[in-house]
Structure 1
């Protein structure tokens, strides 16, 4: 479990193909590796990866073909910068929101506008996760916990302060950049709860207006 508060900016130094999978080596930058052990989890651009080898200034992790297919790892190369966060401890400050490190989809940066004190970024989300993105709600972008400031269809807007631009990969975004998105897990639980007695039925997860009316969420 993570909080979406990035601890360091790392760099991919090696991508070793192992069949359809990849053995990834990351230079850990200023991330404190003194308490890292084999099997620990490190969120790498928002993807929960397991440490299989490490040193004072690096770690290695295996990235499966499934993860490559559904995340931005398909576009990464040697030299790519990545946001890093170690798994949270019970005593840590909870500065962001609940982040699982399980990416829901890859978004695209539509536009970036510099307003001086902050940068306005519009992101286009995959259509199937747009319903989970809400105005003033939380979303994880490449492992960074952020607040959604505006929503238009499947697109949403973020305000990014200079500190975040400097300390994360967001400072390197350009129009067209691909980003890992993880929606707020609370939204998914609410959707499941709203299915009520139908949750155990082998049907699709779409919630229709008829379903809402039948279960008392709409006035007749």
Structure 2
């Protein structure tokens, strides 16, 4: 599990096809000695299992195997060398829950429709993938590229969020623009509530 609070911005070293999977390597400031093979790290909101780690001038290089299903439902298939990626290590017992509970299982890809900057902040409008807008509510939480954000407005399949200067500085959001695609994971509580309502109607 994750919280949606980004703790590092990594850099894509390579994405290499290996038959039915891809090998993704990310450079990170995380110390190599602190990462075990088999650990889970969220990469732009997508939980991946570490299959290799080596020391690097910046801290470490972390390798993952990425399957076809993950490439199909998230933006990883479009990642290129030197691209920047939001990173978050898995939540440990006793850690502060600063955002909201995030599983790291991307529901799909959202598109940035517009960006408006003012007073050091940025107001974004997104289009949600088909079928997900019902899980997005005003003042609810949504994870976008792994970042826990609060929804300010909803209009059909479009929704809006506001990012403060700190978030723009310590994540990849400072470089995002209209037309970009981002990974989206809706709030789990909204999903469970919707399923309970459907089950109630069925019974």
The TM-score by the shorter chain falls in which range?
A: over 0.9
User: Structure 1: how far apart are the matches of 2:160 and 2:153?
Assistant: 5
Give 1:51's aligned residue.
Answer: 50
Larger gyration radius, structure 1 or structure 2 = 1
Partners in 1 of 2:199 and 2:15 — Cα distance?
Answer: 45
* TM-score in terms of structure 1 length: 0.87
Q: Which whole-Å deviations, capped at 9, do the CAs of 1:136-172 have from their partners, x for residues lacking one? A: 0000000000000111111111111111111111111
Q: State the TM-score, normalized to the length of structure 2.
A: 0.94
CA distance in 1: counterparts of 2:30 and 2:157, whole angstroms? 34
**What residue is the counterpart of 1:204 in the other structure?**
none
Distance 2:186 2:167 in 1: 19
Count of equivalent residues: 199
**Could you list the runs of 4 or more consecutive aligned residues of structure 1 that deviate by over 4 angstroms after TM superposition?**
none
CA contact (8 A) 1:138 1:146 kept: yes
Q: Is the 8 A contact 2:135 2:194 kept in 1?
A: no
1:76 maps onto 2:76 in alignment: no
Bigger shift: residues 91-100 or 108-117: 108-117
RMSD: 1.4
Deviation at 1:32, TM superposition (A): 4.0
Query: Structure 2 matches for 1:24-173, cutoff 5 A?
Result: 24-28=24-28, 30-56=29-55, 57-173=60-176
Residue aligned with 2:168, SS: helix
Where structure 2 has 5 or more consecutive residues not aligned to the other structure, the ranges are: none
Partners of 2:114 and 2:124 within 8 A in 1: yes
